[in-house]
Amino acid sequence: MISCRHHHGNPASNGNGQQPAKPGISTSLPMPVHLTNELMPGGSRLFFTWPQNCSPLRLLWLIVRLPALPTTYLPDLVTGETWIDWRWRGRRFSAHSIYGDFLFFSENPDCPETLLRTLAEYLAAQIPPDIPQIKSGG
């Protein structure tokens, strides 16, 4: 954890009052990732919800870059919802865009937490939680 208080005389301080980041730990996440454990009637697990601040096609591209194998891309042009299914590391996952969020599911509710966290942190680092609006002058 990076401290925001200034530590005088602390050799671990980097001079600007913050502790240096530990090797191998990403500090670039825009906000903390919180995994959920909500079981769906079909048996899958809703494990992560994130603001939909990119298009479903962009999300599909991010999934391909994991690298993962997309198996379904189903946009609904009437409602604006999209379903994406993919396989990654021997597991099946889905994403559903609805009500301004992406909902992420694991087909197997017993999928290892480390795998779910890795996936959630990757997506959170790639999709900004809030895109600032550009104000026009005048």
What is the structure's pLDDT at 4?
A: 31
In angstroms, the CA 63 to CA 66 distance is 5
Segment of 12-16, 28-32, 51-55 carrying the highest mean pLDDT = 51-55
Q: Residue 51 class from Cβ within 10 Å (0-12 exposed, 13-18 middle, 19+ buried)?
A: middle
pTM exceeds cut of 0.85 = no
Strand partners of residue 104: 48, 95
